[in-house]
Amino acid sequence: MAAEEPPTFYVAVGGRPTFERLVRRFYQGVANDPPLLDLYPEEDLEPAVERLTGFLEQYWGGPGTYSERRGHPRLRMRHLPFKVNPAQRDRWLHHMRDAVDELALPPLYEAELWAYLERAAHAMVNTFED
């Protein structure tokens, strides 16, 4: 008898509802942080909520809806039009840390998620100018 495949990270942490909670909580912080909010060209953050939720759920093993709608993620390329300096990265990480903490994931899953988010945030830095 073959061993069962372990669930994907996406399934193990609760699927789309977990990623929706994460992203909505993150954008609550962004909405009240004018220097970070300036990086978002749309007045309504809902499209950004949908994009980030879709990206994260696809990255962690959920449906591939993000790529079906938007093509390959190309995160660094998509962020090049915006000045992302270390201060902006740190603001982003601050709000994301609050959102991750509110999920109260089991420690192993929390650590894996946070490690990815930190790596991704550092990779988006494209300038050291203010």
10 Å CB burial of residue 55 (0-12, 13-18, 19+) is buried
Q: Domain for residue 5, yes or no?
A: no
Residue 108's domain spans which residues? 11-124
pLDDT digits (tens, 9 = 90+) for 85-121: 999 999 999 999 999 999 999 999 999 999 999 999 9
pLDDT digits (tens, 9 = 90+) for 53-78: 999 999 999 999 988 888 776 766 66
pLDDT of amino acid 75: 67
How large a percentage of the chain has pLDDT more than 90? 72
Domain with 72 in it: what CATH number? Answer: 1.10.490.10
Q: Domain for residue 129, yes or no?
A: no
Q: Domain for residue 61, yes or no?
A: yes
Q: Domain for residue 130, yes or no?
A: no
Q: Domain for residue 1, yes or no?
A: no
pLDDT of amino acid 76: 62
Nearest-angstrom CA–CA distance, 75 and 55: 10
Q: Domain for residue 4, yes or no?
A: no
